[in-house]
Amino acid sequence: MSRYPAMFAALKERGEGAFVPFVMVGDPDPDTSEAVIEALIAGGADALELGVPFTDPVADGPTIQKAHVRALAAGVGFQDCLEVVQRVRRRHPWLPIGMLIYGNVPFAMGLERFYSECAQAGIDSVLLPDVPIRESAAFSRAAEEAGVDAVYIAPPSAAAETLDAVAAASRGYVYAVSRVGVTGTEWASSTVGLAESVERLRADAAAPVMLGFGISRPEQVAEAIAAGADGAISGSATVQIVESHAPAIAAAGLGGAARKEVIEAMSAELRGFVAAMKAATRAR
């Protein structure tokens, strides 16, 4: 059963929006990736969006593309990601966990098997950034049968019929894209037209609306919530912190005091970033 409704209900009662950080599983290696996830949770993340490394991440900008490359170079595949999620789930049974994965993986595995394995690992939702809503029916059916929320993207300035279709198909939450383009802090988010899109989505009884793409500063989180979104998702800014520490982690080797020190420094920076972004969800 999805954990999103309980999360959004609790946040609404407290007068808060949701802050959901994204990180690539396996970046820069599986063990460090788990430490990254734990730091995000300790910083106050309301939920997680976890990426699975892929060779052709067409929706991602340079920062997250490099995270894909680092994780793939570490030999991380889909099954490795599920194992990480399973361990995180055992430690945090209440936390909503979403997976972002490109459509080739479920298509190659077979949709029934893919969503079943996601459910068994404790994943609440799956977002397929390269599957448009017009091609989503088979994915949605398989997800529903497995008890996984199918999440779809509401493009910026989308036609009314597209928003209606996204609203009808999305479970857990709707991913509202803040601007045209790919992920990345290089391009700022925009709330222009967001209020109108949220109103249209809510008219169709959509799941809560989360704003993503280009969210890297607390004021952008506050702007998203002020525009009517139920929360914000930040990816590239989080991944940049991991990237900045990756060379030192590699140099420190597989164990010892040096590695522990570098990972703690990275974790402290991640906790501080998440705490600041989460605080902005309360600034209403």
Q: Give me the catalytic one of 60, 80, 149, 243.
A: 60
The residues facing 151 across adjacent strands are 127
- Token digits of residue 2: 């999805």
Q: 255 Cβ partners below 8 Å, 6+ apart?
A: none
The stretches of 24-135 forming alpha helices (DSSP H) are: 30-42, 62-73, 78-91, 104-109, 111-121
Instruction: Tell me, yes or no, if 164 is annotated catalytic.
Output: no
| 3-state secondary structure at position 188 | coil
Instruction: Tell me, yes or no, if 204 is annotated catalytic.
Output: no
Please compute Rg for the chain using Cα positions: 18
Q: 132 Cβ partners below 8 Å, 6+ apart?
A: none
Q: Give me the catalytic one of 49, 124, 223, 230.
A: 49
Q: Tell me, rounded to whole angstroms, the distance of Cα 136 from its chain centroid.
A: 19
Checking 101-105 for CB contacts under 8 A at 24+ apart, the result is: 101/51, 101/52, 101/54, 101/126, 101/127, 101/128, 102/52, 102/54, 102/56, 102/57, 102/58, 102/128, 102/129, 102/130, 103/128, 103/130, 103/131, 103/139, 104/54, 104/56, 105/52, 105/54, 105/78
- Residues with a catalytic annotation lie at 49, 60
